[in-house]
């Protein structure tokens, strides 16, 4: 069977294909994890961090992660062209019998796809982005918090709340009103001489860009507080930023009716992200 919805290639367990096994637990239960990252001339950017996080997420769900050389080879195969592209990696627990019970030693399934880079206009980085606060509230599930797993209906429902292209991102709060993250990004706040980012022990996805930025800030002796943030507190921030492995760092210029006049950045977060 062949599907023709995309001209971009995918490797399923190393074989060029646009089909996967209909009994795979990734489809039936969202039983797997994923990554999205930039690749350039066959080189995946921030690869060590991405692989380490993929491995940790697999372990958290009891899935055997594919080994690093195998994945790196899949990525190289798909992306030898000089331009930048996006790689999405999905690892599922694989195929099983009907029912939730996972057999031991199931063979995980890996799916590596190439996608074009999103259109990031230069205006975007310079002027900052406009953001809304989503109505959907994230549920608390400490067992899944931080993991970039395939159960993403909360993100889907939140993203369905707006269609205005001028809005670059939606912020997600939890049921207690804490700010957690963006639908596809993590949040950082500069407050005086320190940096704050929400804790993700009960919900949210701990992205690789977030991890890199925390590490870099600390290397530069800047304190990063990881704690609860209430919406009102954002209004007091000197600057707010969104991080994502594909779109990089984006300064926020507006959240609902609050706006910021972009001045000089106190800290060169974009540079730090790349060097981390």
Binding site residues, its own copies, CB under 8 A = 1, 3, 5-6, 10, 12, 15, 17-31, 34, 36, 61-62, 86, 88, 90, 92-93, 95, 98-102, 111, 113, 115, 118, 136, 138-141, 143-144, 149-160, 175, 183-184, 203
DSSP class per residue in 42-93: TEETTHHHHHHHHHHHHHHHT--PPPHHHHHHHHHHH--SSSEEEEEEEEE-
When the beta carbons of 155 and 197 are compared against its own copies, the nearer one is 155
When the beta carbons of 167 and 191 are compared against its own copies, the nearer one is 167
**Shortest reach from residue 118's CB to its own copies, in Å:** 8
Q: How far, rounded to the nearest angstrom, does the alpha carbon of residue 185 sit from its chain's CA centroid?
A: 6
Helices (DSSP H) in 179-243: which residue ranges? 208-219, 231-236
**Shortest reach from residue 28's CB to its own copies, in Å:** 7
**Phi and psi dihedrals of 234, rounded to 5?**
-60, -35
When the beta carbons of 115 and 260 are compared against its own copies, the nearer one is 115
When the beta carbons of 2 and 122 are compared against its own copies, the nearer one is 2
**Shortest reach from residue 24's CB to its own copies, in Å:** 7
When the beta carbons of 99 and 122 are compared against its own copies, the nearer one is 99
Other beta carbons within 10 angstroms of residue 119's beta carbon come to 6
**Shortest reach from residue 93's CB to its own copies, in Å:** 8
Cβ pair 208, 49 in contact under 8 A: yes
Cβ pair 201, 145 in contact under 8 A: yes
**Shortest reach from residue 12's CB to its own copies, in Å:** 6
Q: Is 13 left (phi over 0), alpha (psi -120 to 50) or beta?
A: left
**Shortest reach from residue 179's CB to its own copies, in Å:** 18
- Taken in order 273, 83, 86, 160, is the CA torsion positive or negative? positive
**Shortest reach from residue 264's CB to its own copies, in Å:** 32
When the beta carbons of 113 and 197 are compared against its own copies, the nearer one is 113
Nearest to 7 by CA among 113, 88, 105, 108: 113
When the beta carbons of 62 and 262 are compared against its own copies, the nearer one is 62
């Amino acid at each position: 069977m062949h599907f023709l919805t995309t001209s971009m290639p995918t490797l399923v367990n190393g074989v060029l294909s646009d089909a996967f096994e209909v009994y795979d637990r990734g489809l039936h239960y969202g039983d797997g994890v994923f990554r999205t990252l930039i690749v350039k001339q066959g080189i995946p950017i921030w690869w060590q961090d991405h692989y380490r996080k993929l491995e940790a997420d697999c372990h958290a769900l009891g899935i055997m992660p594919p080994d690093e050389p195998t994945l790196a080879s899949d990525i190289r195969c798909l992306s030898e062209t000089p331009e930048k592209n996006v790689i999405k990696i999905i690892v599922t627990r694989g195929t099983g019998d009907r029912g939730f019970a996972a057999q031991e030693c199931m063979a995980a399934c890996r799916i590596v796809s190439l996608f074009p880079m999103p259109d990031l206009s230069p205006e975007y980085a310079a002027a900052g982005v406009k953001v809304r606060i989503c109505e959907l509230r994230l549920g608390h599930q400490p067992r899944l918090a931080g993991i970039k797993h395939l159960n993403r209906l909360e993100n889907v429902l939140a993203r369905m709340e707006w269609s205005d292209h001028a809005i670059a991102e939606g912020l997600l709060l939890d049921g207690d009103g804490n700010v957690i993250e963006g639908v596809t990004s993590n949040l950082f706040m500069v407050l005086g001489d320190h940096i704050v980012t929400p804790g993700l022990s009960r919900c949210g996805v701990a992205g690789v860009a977030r991890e890199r930025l925390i590490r870099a800030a600390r290397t530069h002796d800047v304190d990063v507080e990881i704690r609860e943030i209430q919406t009102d507190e954002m209004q007091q921030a000197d600057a707010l930023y969104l991080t994502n492995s594909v779109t990089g760092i984006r300064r926020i210029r507006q959240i609902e009716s609050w706006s910021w006049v972009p001045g000089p950045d106190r800290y060169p977060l974009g540079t730090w992200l790349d060097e981390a």
